[in-house]
């Protein structure tokens, strides 16, 4: 019985032990499964980490300062362009040091050593040279790690290839420096025109502080002088993604206005989305002032500030076009001061200029708004009166001009008296062409001078031939000497008692390609009136002396030459200097030159 009891008891223990073993087995299987899953999860995490490091070009490393060993992750090898299977662990540290750029090696090792010794973090950018010669820029970040006893063991850190980022940052720094040091003003705004940046040049040009402009709108900088349509065009252009260029009349902080040449450019993402606008502006105030001066010089008389001949012709053309549309008339007045050359020579150029300025002011006061008075030449003026209804009105205005000019001018406390002669043409009765109307008005003015001066005359077809001929003579005579059209005809001087030729009188002739042979009685009065007689007379004296010397050299040593001299050569030229120069240049002895003076000079009061 006892045996049976012991067996039963033994079997119960076996069953109990078997149950315990089964439980242990189940626990082991569960643990094995969990460990396998943990290992798979770890490997998956490691794989994800490795992939993340590869994408980020980031590797991790550990440098044991106790054993002087270095460990790299696979990504570090990739960064250095190395195969981990080809590198021995005990030589990795020296190899890593050797691949540091020569200029960075000492400082990098010194920073790492100092960080280990003083428990400092490491944040270092440096260059490496790979085995294939490629240069890279990497960023190292590390911290000191410790053993269980709290003693520093080494450094653990990461290394990241930042070559592309660093190069991009360098380019960005260059661009930033270019903008900061740009000679042009630069503004960057968002797509709504809110200012985000202004460069130092903008600050120096406008006087605004950069901080006070940030957050304001580009619209706030408008001066009000640039037409709104220009800004509308700029915004329409850049919002459409295109560049815009134009001129803006801007205002500085102190209220001064200035001109800018502006270029507006949209900044876009690679997808083409506009994110900002850049305005680059150059101060062109000096250029605009220069252009304005050139334009004024091209269109206005510098002395009187009146329109010049070119602008007068343009104003006349516009007046005729308006008259044609409005079916009304335009009166053209050619005004010439009588004997102004004599007055100018008497007073001097400065006083003469002041006199012309006052004449110009008086002429302007005689006309109305919409009329034009211009200076054509030294003492010639033109008035254009659009919309004058009747000839009688033109006569009233003309007489008013004559009366205004005839009032005494006070120069240096002395009264100076002037008169004027005027010629008038009327559109459309006298023609349609502006230049013809101006020419005929000048012709009528010459007729007024012939009728005693200080009067006016309307142009009539009957005066055309004579007046136009006079005008053509004067126009062509101005350049006749330079073109070689003048020549001397010599009339022999015969001794009565013997019949011998003792000399010759020099007679001026003009062979014009347009007018033919022009006789002295046609050209001399005109030359004396416009002052051309002085340079022409000088030419006659010099040419006659040269010809007389040639006669002597050819075998007629006793011949003398006689030259007629105009009173104006005494009054307004330097006759003595001209004669001296002519004799010296030609070699002619003074006794062979005779001057014949007009009777008007002998009878004149002037010395």
Describe the strand order of the beta sheet including 244-251 as a list of residue ranges: 195-198, 185-190, 274-283, 257-268, 244-251
DSSP state for residue 127 in the 8-state scheme: E
Q: Where is pLDDT greater, at 521 or 320?
A: 320
Residue 166: inside a domain: no
pLDDT at residue 602 above 80? no
Instruction: Retrieve residue 126's tokens.
Output: 């440096």
Residue 175: inside a domain: no
Over the stretch 454-477, which tens digit does the pLDDT of each residue have? 999 999 877 666 666 777 888 888
- Please state, in angstroms and rounded to a whole number, the distance separating the CA atoms of residues 492 and 506: 9
309 with 452, same domain?
yes
Strand 372-375 versus strand 380-386 pairing type: antiparallel
What is the CATH classification number for the domain harbouring 319? 3.30.70.270
Over the stretch 299-327, which tens digit does the pLDDT of each residue have? 999 999 999 999 999 999 999 999 888 78
- 445 burial level (CB within 10 Å; 0-12, 13-18, 19+): buried
- Identify the domain boundary among 235, 259, 289: 289
313 with 455, same domain?
yes
Please name the residues in contact with 385: beta carbons below 8 A apart, sequence gap of 6 or more. Answer: 330, 331, 332, 333, 367, 368, 371, 394, 397
319 with 409, same domain?
yes
pLDDT at residue 55 above 70? no
pLDDT reported for residue 342: 79
247 with 276, same domain?
yes
DSSP readout, 384-417? EEET---HHHHHHHHHHHHHHHHSPEEETTEEE-
91 with 108, same domain?
yes
DSSP state for residue 256 in the 8-state scheme: -
323 with 430, same domain?
yes
Specify the pTM: 0.49
Q: Which of 541, 535, 594 is nearest to 568 (CA)?
A: 535
Contact (CB, 8 A) for 378 and 337 = no
506 with 541, same domain?
yes
- Identify the domain boundary among 400, 430, 459: 459
pLDDT reported for residue 605: 38
- Please state, in angstroms and rounded to a whole number, the distance separating the CA atoms of residues 151 and 456: 119
Average pLDDT, the chain: 86
Q: What is the mean pLDDT of residues 166-195?
A: 86
Please report, rounded to a whole number, the percentage of residues in the chain having pLDDT higher than 90: 51
77 with 128, same domain?
yes
Determine which helix (DSSP H) or strand (DSSP E) holds 602, and give its type and residue range.
helix 599-603
What is the CATH classification number for the domain harbouring 218? 3.30.450.20
- Please state, in angstroms and rounded to a whole number, the distance separating the CA atoms of residues 44 and 329: 100
pLDDT reported for residue 103: 94
The tally of CA atoms less than 13 A away on the side-chain side of residue 208 is 23
The tally of CA atoms less than 13 A away on the side-chain side of residue 488 is 23
Over the stretch 392-444, which tens digit does the pLDDT of each residue have? 788 999 999 999 999 999 888 888 899 999 999 999 989 999 999 999 999 89
Residue 331: inside a domain: yes
208 with 331, same domain?
no
pLDDT at residue 513 above 60? yes
- Please state, in angstroms and rounded to a whole number, the distance separating the CA atoms of residues 539 and 593: 14
- Identify the domain boundary among 259, 289, 319: 289
- Please state, in angstroms and rounded to a whole number, the distance separating the CA atoms of residues 279 and 197: 10
Contact (CB, 8 A) for 223 and 206 = no
- Please state, in angstroms and rounded to a whole number, the distance separating the CA atoms of residues 27 and 508: 142
Determine which helix (DSSP H) or strand (DSSP E) holds 313, and give its type and residue range.
helix 309-326
Report the range of poorest mean pLDDT among 45-49, 264-268, 557-561. 45-49
Dihedral of the alpha carbons of 174, 178, 180, 185, in degrees to the nearest 10: -150
Q: What is the mean pLDDT of residues 328-332?
A: 92
pLDDT at residue 539 above 60? yes
Instruction: Retrieve residue 584's tokens.
Output: 């010296």
Q: Where is pLDDT greater, at 15 or 193?
A: 193
pLDDT grade for 45, boundaries at 50, 70 and 90: low
pLDDT grade for 531, boundaries at 50, 70 and 90: confident
Please name the residues in contact with 377: beta carbons below 8 A apart, sequence gap of 6 or more. Answer: 309
Q: Provide the 3-class DSSP secondary structure of residue 132.
A: coil
Residue 162: inside a domain: no
349 with 222, same domain?
no
Q: Which of 418, 455, 459, 430 is nearest to 442 (CA)?
A: 459
pLDDT at residue 599 above 50? no
Over the stretch 73-106, which tens digit does the pLDDT of each residue have? 989 999 999 888 887 767 788 888 999 999 999 9
DSSP state for residue 331 in the 8-state scheme: E
Over the stretch 209-233, which tens digit does the pLDDT of each residue have? 989 989 999 988 888 889 999 999 9
Residue 173: inside a domain: no
Strand 380-386 versus strand 330-337 pairing type: antiparallel
Please report, rounded to a whole number, the percentage of residues in the chain having pLDDT higher than 70: 87
214 with 323, same domain?
no
Residue span of the structural domain in which 511 resides = 479-603
Residue 294: inside a domain: no
- Please state, in angstroms and rounded to a whole number, the distance separating the CA atoms of residues 321 and 27: 113
Residue 128: inside a domain: yes
Residue 370: inside a domain: yes
pLDDT reported for residue 495: 86
Q: Where is pLDDT greater, at 22 or 587?
A: 587
Give the chain's length: 607
What is the CATH classification number for the domain harbouring 532? 3.20.20.450
Instruction: Retrieve residue 328's tokens.
Output: 């009304």
Number of domains in the chain: 5
Contact (CB, 8 A) for 481 and 535 = yes
341 with 438, same domain?
yes
pLDDT grade for 60, boundaries at 50, 70 and 90: very high
Over the stretch 99-153, which tens digit does the pLDDT of each residue have? 999 999 999 999 999 999 999 999 999 999 998 889 999 999 999 999 999 999 9
């Amino acid at each position: 019985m006892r045996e049976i009891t012991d067996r039963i008891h033994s079997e119960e223990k076996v069953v109990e032990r078997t149950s315990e073993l089964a439980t242990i087995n189940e626990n082991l299987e569960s643990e094995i499964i969990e460990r396998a899953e943990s290992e798979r999860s770890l490997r998956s995490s490691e794989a994800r980490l490795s992939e993340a490091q590869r994408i980020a070009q980031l590797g991790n490393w550990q440098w044991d300062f106790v054993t002087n060993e270095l460990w790299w992750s696979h990504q570090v090898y990739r960064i250095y362009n190395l195969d981990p299977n080809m590198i021995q662990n005990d030589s990795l540290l020296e190899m890593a040091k050797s691949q540091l750029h020569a200029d960075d090696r000492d400082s990098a090792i010194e920073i790492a050593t100092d960080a280990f010794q003083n428990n400092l973090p490491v944040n270092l950018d440096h260059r490496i040279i790979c085995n294939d010669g490629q240069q890279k820029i990497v960023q190292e970040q590390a911290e000191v790690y410790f053993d269980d006893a709290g003693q520093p063991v080494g450094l653990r850190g990461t290394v990241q290839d930042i070559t592309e980022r660093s190069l991009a940052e360098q380019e960005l720094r260059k661009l930033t420096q270019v903008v900061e040091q740009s000679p042009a003003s630069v503004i960057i705004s968002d797509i709504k025109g809110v200012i985000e940046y202004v460069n130092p040049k903008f600050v120096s040009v406008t006087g605004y502080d950069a901080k006070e402009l940030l957050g304001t709108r580009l619209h706030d900088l408008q001066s009000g002088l640039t037409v709104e349509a220009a800004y509308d065009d700029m915004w329409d252009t850049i919002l459409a993604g295109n560049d815009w260029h134009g001129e803006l009349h801007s205002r500085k902080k102190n209220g001064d206005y200035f001109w800018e040449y502006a270029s507006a450019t949209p900044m876009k993402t690679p997808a083409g989305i506009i994110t900002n606008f850049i305005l680059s502006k150059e101060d062109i105030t000096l250029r605009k002032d220069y252009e304005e001066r050139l334009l004024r010089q091209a269109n206005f008389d510098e002395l009187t500030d009146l329109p010049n001949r070119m602008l007068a012709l343009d104003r006349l053309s516009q007046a005729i076009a308006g008259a044609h549309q409005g079916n009304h008339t335009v009166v053209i007045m050619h005004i010439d001061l009588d004997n102004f050359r004599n007055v100018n020579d008497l007073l001097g150029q400065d006083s003469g200029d002041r006199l012309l300025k006052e004449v110009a002011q008086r002429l302007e006061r005689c006309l109305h708004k919409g009329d034009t008075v211009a200076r054509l030449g030294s003492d010639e003026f033109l008035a254009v009166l659009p919309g004058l209804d009747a000839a009688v009105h033109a006569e009233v205005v003309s007489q008013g001009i004559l009366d205004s000019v005839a009032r005494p001018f006070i120069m240096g406390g002395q009264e100076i008296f002037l008169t004027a002669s005027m010629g008038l043409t009327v559109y459309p009765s006298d023609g349609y062409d502006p230049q013809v109307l101006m020419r005929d008005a000048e012709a009528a003015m010459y007729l007024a001078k012939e009728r005693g001066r200080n009067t006016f005359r309307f142009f009539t077809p009957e005066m055309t031939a004579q007046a136009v001929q006079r005008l053509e003579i004067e126009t062509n005579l101005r350049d006749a000497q330079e073109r070689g059209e003048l020549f001397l005809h010599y009339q022999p001087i015969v001794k009565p008692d013997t019949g011998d030729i003792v000399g010759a009188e020099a007679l001026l002739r003009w062979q014009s390609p347009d007018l033919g042979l022009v006789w002295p009685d046609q050209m001399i009065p005109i030359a004396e009136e416009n002052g051309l007689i002085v340079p022409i007379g000088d030419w006659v004296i010099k040419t006659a002396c040269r010809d007389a010397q040639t006669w002597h050299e050819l075998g007629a040593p006793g011949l003398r030459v006689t030259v007629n001299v105009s009173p104006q050569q005494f009054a307004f030229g330097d006759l003595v200097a001209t004669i001296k120069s002519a004799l010296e240049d030609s070699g002619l002895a003074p006794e062979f030159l005779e001057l014949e003076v007009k009777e008007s000079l002998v009878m004149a009061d002037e010395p």
